[in-house]
Amino acid sequence: MKSCSFRHILLIVVSLSASSLLSAQCPMCRLAAEKNLELGGTMGLGLNTGILFLLAMPYALVLFFAFLLWRKNRRRGSSSVRPPINEA
């Protein structure tokens, strides 16, 4: 149990220390895109499209797997549940 908690602490420390390195690139990308747009380029539009694509992918995957589960349960439910037969 101690090794598991040590792993969690180590993962948190590594994640926090790496986040400062990753956030340093955002201003550089923004400046490069702004400079490119000032010179008449279209790099900023491509960056915006890429950001929207990356934003949409997790939602699309969740919806896809939810649809598969719904379809699987719908098929199973229709074959296993039968209405009672009324005998008079």
User: Could you read off the pLDDT of 31-87 as tens digits, one per residue?
Assistant: 887 888 888 887 777 777 888 888 899 999 999 999 999 998 887 765 555 666 776
- C-alpha distances in angstroms, 14 versus 1, 10, 81? 20, 6, 51
Q: Are 40 and 47 in contact (CB under 8 A)?
A: no
The answer, yes or no, to whether residue 4 has pLDDT greater than 80, is: no
Note whether residue 8 is domain-resident. yes
Note whether residue 36 is domain-resident. yes
Same domain, yes or no: 3 and 37: yes
Pull the structure tokens for residue 69.
Answer: 């589960």
Same domain, yes or no: 50 and 27: no
Q: What is the mean pLDDT of residues 3-30?
A: 72
Total count of domains within the chain: 2
Pull the structure tokens for residue 4.
Answer: 């598991």
Banded model confidence at residue 22, pLDDT cuts 50, 70, 90: low
- Residue range of the domain that includes 49: 44-80
Same domain, yes or no: 4 and 33: yes
Q: Taking Cα atoms as reference points, which of 67, 29, 65, 62 lies closest to residue 48?
A: 29
Note whether residue 48 is domain-resident. yes
pTM of the model: 0.45
Note whether residue 86 is domain-resident. no
Q: Which residue has the tokens 């009324």?
A: 86
